[in-house]
Amino acid sequence: MNAITPNAPALPAPVGLLAELTHRCPLRCPYCSNPLELDRRSGELDTATWQRVLTEAAALGVLHVHLSGGEPTARNDIVEITQTCAKLGLYSNLITSGVGGALAKLDALYDVGLDHVQLSVQGVDAANAEKIGGLKNAQPQKFAFAERVTQLGLPLTLNSVIHRGNIHEVEGFIDLAVKLGAKRLEVAHTQYYGWAYVNRAALMPNKADVDRSIRIVEAARERLKGQLVIDLVVPDYYAKYPKACAGGWGRKLMNVTPAGKVLPCHAAETIKQLEFWYVTDHSLGDIWANSPAFTAYRGTDWMQEPCRSCDRREKDWGGCRCQALALAGDAAATDPACSLSPLHAKVRDLATEEAAETPPDYTYRTIGSNVQPNVRSPLNEEVSL
Amino acid sequence: MTAPFPTPVTDESQRLLSPDELAAALRDIGARRYHNLHPFHRLLHDGKLNKDQVRAWALNRYYYQAMIPIKDAAVLARMEDASLRRIWRQRIVDHDGDAPGDGGIERWLKLAEGVGFTRDYVESTQGILSATRFSVDAYVHFVKERSLLEAIASSLTEMFSPTIISERVAGMLKNYDFITKDTLAYFDKRLTQAPRDADFALDYVQQHATTPQLQRQAMAALTFKCNVLWTQLDALYFAYVAPGMIPPDAWTPGTGLVPEAAATTTAQAAGTGTLGPHDVPRLPRGVRLRHDAVRDQHVLLAPERTFDLDANAVAVLEYVDGTRTVRDIAGLLAEKFTADRAVIEADILVMLNDLATKRVLER
């Protein structure tokens, strides 16, 4: 059944593995990319299983491993797992909040060959940052962590998720990145899946502020050329074209959850009809090639119009499937972030309206809560045109 | 190594060439010496110069453009034949225009303004390199002092210019987002003017170089003119690419620009800066050269990014070990590929500086 047929292009190997080692995290950010139903510690994969998964990933062609969570340093075996990456030649990227036990483990991670650290910062002003992250005294811990990263000579990237509560701080994030000695800064406008979807009305910035933030980043890129690389992720709802989610479904990235479920992207579980396979039942290579969740939206055969005949279909791959489901009610629809989607104008209006209203309080992420998204949809009649 | 031209050593080389042979010999000079072969031009056309390096080129080249009508007026002054003068004077009209706001010099000023200069600063020529001034002035003196045949022959670089212009226009539009089609209007005109001028000049030289000695003089005149152009690029390269030695009083990035342009002057980054031939590049922690067995290719692994490398880049990076200078590396590559070290050095400096800008290479 796996015979190569003349018309089928060879399946490219994945380049990245997002290893969500745990969903546990001291922070409670209201835009967390983790699913609403968080895995508990008792269900997490053990060390040996992660090591097997990493070995399979290296053989499959994965080059970068993103050690993420939750807070990955909450795992007692984070050093062993990082060491396994180094032994396999995998590029290890620690995606961390820098709080809790992170600093205490940093030197050991350096010693076993950690390649890169991506540190999240929720805000520039400490009170604002700690309100967003939902943890007191987080900011000084983050700064101490960043200082040790650069002292060790590890490359540091600062990641700032931008939304209504901190969009006025974009200049501050750039200055902070320079001050902390980061080589890269991610100015990533919130993507509205998972917890961010629940909190959309509290997070959605207005168009004028978004445009201003983009101008600030563009000016800083010129000014700091050769010193700081700034990656900018623009917000979908105000964009013209959607982004190629995870570089295209099942094309570049695999995401393994704490319990070992393998997803094409971290939000894919919101598409309830998909069948996901577990690393405990299948090899990573088998999952990549044959898991129903990966084959469902790989390539272009599944597309509807306007994607199907669009020149950009192999550029953005129809955008985000999860967003298509959430906003258009059909995971195979064109992502409404795309200006070619019939729903695009409604989505933009929705964002504009939400951004103009008084923001509701955050719904912080917690394990074991029973949060259900209760946000307006462009499909609802109540949305004015 | 190619021998200097002409090489009057044997009887054969003394013989009178047919008009076609003479044209071929003149074209051969261009094929070996015209400045499209210069490393600086390769960098320019391939989009590998930064904005300030393009500015330096536009500023210096203005002096050459501005002096061309003076040169042509000197040639004209030596022509005793009115029919010749009627043809030659068209060159002056092309450059000066018939009215303010017209002509080749004006279009060059537009180009210089297009890359951010104020018009006054460019016209003052106060920031140009001495080597630019010396070369251009030598050209003007040459046409005044040598025979009319040599003066006309020296203009024959126009035979080669349409190729370089189309390469340049295509390359610059493709590679520099600050260059627009309007900015390059100068070259649109030259694409039709240069062949017309060259046809006339070649015809004249073929008719009037009637002895072996006169033919050799014509060839030497063209060689001289190629050197006038080449020397200007040598000086630009030396001052603004590598080793980056800008002479006193010459233009430095940030000056002579309109305020908006000054704000976008290429920043000298703390910790990295621009790499020169004597710097020692190294891959910092978190950047690794690796062979990817699954895809059978070399990759540079960096924070959140992977660079696919071609064979040339791999050859360079394999020598980047934190002890060798750029010049050492160029020397090793020159041996390995039996190529010219200076050309390799120019190429790898561009590549290494590009990686430094992306923060994956340090010194």
Q: Check whether B203 has a pLDDT greater than 80.
A: yes
pLDDT at A158: 96
pLDDT at A350: 84
From chain B, the residues in CB contact with A224 under 8 A are 267, 269
pLDDT at A381: 41
Q: Check whether A144 has a pLDDT greater than 90.
A: yes
Pairwise CA distance, residues B17 & B219, whole Å: 12
- Residue A157 pairs in a beta bridge with A118, A184
Pairwise CA distance, residues B229 & B233, whole Å: 7
pLDDT at B51: 85
Mean pLDDT confidence for B329-356 = 87
* pLDDT-based confidence at residue A377 (cuts at 50, 70, 90): low
From chain B, the residues in CB contact with A59 under 8 A are 294
* pLDDT-based confidence at residue A7 (cuts at 50, 70, 90): very low
Q: Check whether B12 has a pLDDT greater than 60.
A: no
Binding residues of A for [4Fe-4S] cluster: 25, 29, 32
Q: Check whether B161 has a pLDDT greater than 50.
A: yes
Interface check for A60 against chain B (CB to CB < 8 A): the answer is: yes
Pairwise CA distance, residues A192 & A86, whole Å: 34
- Token pair in block for residue A151: 């002292």
B295 → chain A, closest CA residue? A61
* pLDDT-based confidence at residue A154 (cuts at 50, 70, 90): very high
Q: Check whether B234 has a pLDDT greater than 70.
A: yes
Q: Is B290 helix (H, G, I), strand (E, B) or coil?
A: strand
Amino acid in the structure at residue B5? F
Sheet containing B305-308: order of strands: B288-292, B297-302, B305-308
Using left for φ > 0, alpha for ψ between -120 and 50, and beta otherwise, residue A158 falls in beta
- Å from A314 to nearest chain B CA? 20
Pairwise CA distance, residues A269 & A260, whole Å: 13
Mean pLDDT confidence for B242-266 = 79
- Token pair in block for residue B292: 């990817």
* pLDDT-based confidence at residue B264 (cuts at 50, 70, 90): low
- Token pair in block for residue A54: 């990493």
Mean pLDDT confidence for B64-91 = 95
- Å from B303 to nearest chain A CA? 6
Pairwise CA distance, residues A279 & B60, whole Å: 64
Cβ(A47)–Cβ(A77) below 8 Å:
yes
Return the closest-CA partner of residue A285 out of A98, A52, A64, A82: A52
- Å from A207 to nearest chain B CA? 26
* H helix intervals, chain A: 47-60, 78-87, 102-111, 126-133, 138-152, 170-180, 194-198, 200-203, 207-223, 284-290, 292-296, 321-328, 344-356
Q: Which of A218, A229, A231, A284 to mutate to test the interface with B (most CBs of B within 10 A)?
A: A229
- Average pLDDT value over all residues in chain A: 89
Q: B243 φ, ψ to 5°?
A: -75, 5
Share of chain A above pLDDT 90, in %: 62
Which of A43-47, A93-97, A344-348, B331-335 is predicted with the least confidence, judged by mean pLDDT? A344-348
From chain A, the residues in CB contact with B362 under 8 A are none
Pairwise CA distance, residues B304 & A64, whole Å: 8
From chain A, the residues in CB contact with B290 under 8 A are 63, 89
Give the position of tokens 């290429």: B266
From chain B, the residues in CB contact with A157 under 8 A are 303-304
pLDDT at A157: 96
By Cβ distance, the residue of B269, B288, B295 closest to A227 is B269
- ipTM, two decimals: 0.85
State pLDDT tens for residues A28-46: 999 998 888 888 888 999 9
**Burial label, A114 (beta-carbon count in 10 A; 0-12, 13-18, 19+):** buried
- Å from A12 to nearest chain B CA? 9
Q: Check whether A383 has a pLDDT greater than 50.
A: no
- Residue A188 pairs in a beta bridge with A161, A233
* pLDDT-based confidence at residue B272 (cuts at 50, 70, 90): very low
pLDDT at A359: 85
State pLDDT tens for residues A185-231: 999 999 888 888 889 889 988 888 999 999 999 999 988 988 899 99
CA B233 to chain centre: 5
A158 → chain B, closest CA residue? B303
The 3 state secondary structure assigned to B302-362 is ECCEEEECCHHHHHHHCCCCCCCCHHHHHHHHHHHCCCCHHHHHHHHHHHHHHHHHCCCCE
Which residues in B have their CB inside 8 Å of a CB on A? 263-264, 266-273, 284-288, 290, 292, 294-295, 299, 301, 303-304, 306, 356-359
From chain A, the residues in CB contact with B299 under 8 A are 63
State pLDDT tens for residues A284-341: 999 999 999 999 999 899 999 999 999 899 889 999 998 898 888 899 999 998 999 9
* pLDDT-based confidence at residue B267 (cuts at 50, 70, 90): very low
Pairwise CA distance, residues B282 & B328, whole Å: 13
Cβ(B327)–Cβ(B243) below 8 Å:
no
- pLDDT greater at residue A378 or residue B208: B208
Question: Residue A318 CB: number of other CB atoms within 10 A?
Answer: 30
Cβ(B111)–Cβ(B59) below 8 Å:
no
- Token pair in block for residue B133: 């001034």
